[in-house]
Structure formats: C-alpha cells, structure tokens
Amino acid sequence: MRDMVLEKIELLRQRMVKMGLEFGLDHPDVLEYSKQIDQLHNELNQLDHSLSKVGKKSKPYRFYMLENKAHFA
C-alpha cells in the first residue's frame, strides 16, 4: 500500500513538472496536481503513523531516478 502511494506521488510529480514547464506554475492543472500530491503525502503520513502505533517500524525508503523512471528501494 505504502509503495503504491509513493509511486502515485512520483507519477503526479512528474506530470506536474512537465505541465509547469509548459504552461507555467500558476496554471490550474499544475495547482491541481500539487493538491493531489499534498493529499497523497498526508495519506502516507497517516499510514506511517498507524504503522508506528501498531509497533511495526516502517522501513525507510529511498527514491532515485534513472532514465526518467522512478525507482523505490
């Protein structure tokens, strides 16, 4: 579940950057992507918080880009 949220965040971020470069940072679609990313970050924080309450440690994640593809480790 957590990895899916991270993947969605990265895909939306890539789309947002592409649109921002093409149409400007104040374009309504760019702002909508930003809102969606914020919501997913909140969801990720809630997931991490619930995992810590149960006593499970969420493993740290790393993100890196290779050839315009997102990879999580």
Model confidence pLDDT, tens digit, residues 4-58: 999 999 999 999 999 999 999 999 999 999 999 999 999 999 988 887 776 655 5
Tokens representing residue 8 in the block: 């969605």
Where b means 16+ CB within 10 Å and e means fewer, 32-43 reads ebeebbeebeee
Give the model confidence (pLDDT) of 14-26 as tens digits.
999 999 999 999 9
DSSP-derived letter for residue 1 is -
Q: Which helix (H) or strand (E) holds 56?
A: none
Q: How confident is the model at residue 66 (pLDDT cuts 50, 70, 90)?
A: low
pTM of the model: 0.70
